[in-house]
Structure 1
Amino acid sequence: MDCADKRGQAAIGIEYCDQLFRLEREFLAKDLGVEERLKARQERSQPIVGAFFDWLSSFHTMKGKLQEAVRYAQNQQASLRCFLEDGRLALSNNLSERSIKAVVMGRKNYLFSTSMAGGQANALAHSIVETAIANGLNATRYLEYLFTHLPNVPFLQQPDLLDDYLPWSDAVQVQCQHPRLSQ
């Protein structure tokens, strides 16, 4: 992206990637299961990936950011092809990066945790919030649910009771699901 002009070599590489992302959006819209998505990727995405790497191998001498991008893609070819072998894998790591954004954005603020316990509390809070979001919950509702119900639960004596308060439990899903997902 950093070296792309509207008609240059980098734009061609971006178009290959855009084709793959368009297909992934199509597969998502069709709500394909894991096996169906894998089959669709092997039939439709694999030829694009093959053409992309063939195109990359046509480069000989170049300099700068485009050269770095080509070398990186060639060196990571096996990893970049993993999504073609497992229908559960995402095409990119965008979801993972988005989920850690809150931690990255706040890291300078965490320097002001006055103790190790304060830092651990921050990590615990972020873990709870991100797990709630990953399970389709409204994080604020989930925290309110926990703060309202857990003080009355004898979980120290009966640790198994905590299972009912995990983000994937049926009761929590009903009470705390994100409004957009519950429609």
Structure 2
Amino acid sequence: MPKKVDKFYDFLDTILNPSGKLKKAIGYAKKFRTRLEKIYEIGELPLSNNPVEQAIRPATLVRKNSLFATTIAGAKANAIWYSLIQTAIDVSKYLNYIFSLLEQRKEVDVEAYLPWNSEAKESCAVAN
């Protein structure tokens, strides 16, 4: 455990009769001391949960946006659209691929339009 963390908590103990927001902040710091210590013990622990929050954001937005679907058909269309976009490898390339198939006006099985189709995967691969 780093000495600075111990010094910080020793300093918090010297503050007598805190009130208001300072009292709340000190209580919060003391409550999560063990979490702070774990960060120093286990170096792989992230300092924040922002990556997790970013990962779940699309699902939350879809849920909120789906509240405004005025018909069952509209809700189904939203579900299909978001499912396709979330499973696409590179959304821009995927949409270009789909539109190129539509421009060719070929009679193509619906499987050819799905992002997990082998031809779609090749066309939409993310460039390294």
Q: TM-score, normalised by structure 2?
A: 0.52
Q: Does 1:144 align with 2:92?
A: yes
CA contact (8 A) 2:84 2:114 kept: no
Q: Deviations over 1:90-136 (max 9, x none)?
A: 2233444455566667875443144565675687578x38xxxxxxx
1:81 Cα deviation (Å)? Answer: 2.2
Match of 2:107 in 1: none
- The amino acid of 1:172's aligned partner reads A
Contact 2:66 2:78 (C-alpha < 8 Å) held by counterparts = yes
Given the alignment of the two structures, is residue 87 of structure 1 paired with residue 4 of structure 2, yes or no? no
2:10 partner amino acid = D
Amino acid at match of 2:125: V
Which amino acid in structure 1 is aligned with residue 92 of structure 2?
E
Q: Structure 2 CA distance, aligned partners of 1:78 and 1:57?
A: 16
Please name the residue that 2:3 is paired with.
Answer: 47
CA distance in 2, matches of 1:122, 1:69: 44
**Paired letter, 1:67:** K
Provide the residue aligned with 2:31 in structure 1.
75
Residue segments in structure 1 that go unaligned for 5+ positions in a row: 1-41, 130-138, 166-170, 178-183
Q: Any unmatched runs of 5+ in structure 2?
A: 99-110
Q: Give the whole-Å Cα distance in 2 for the aligned partners of 1:75 and 1:108.
A: 33
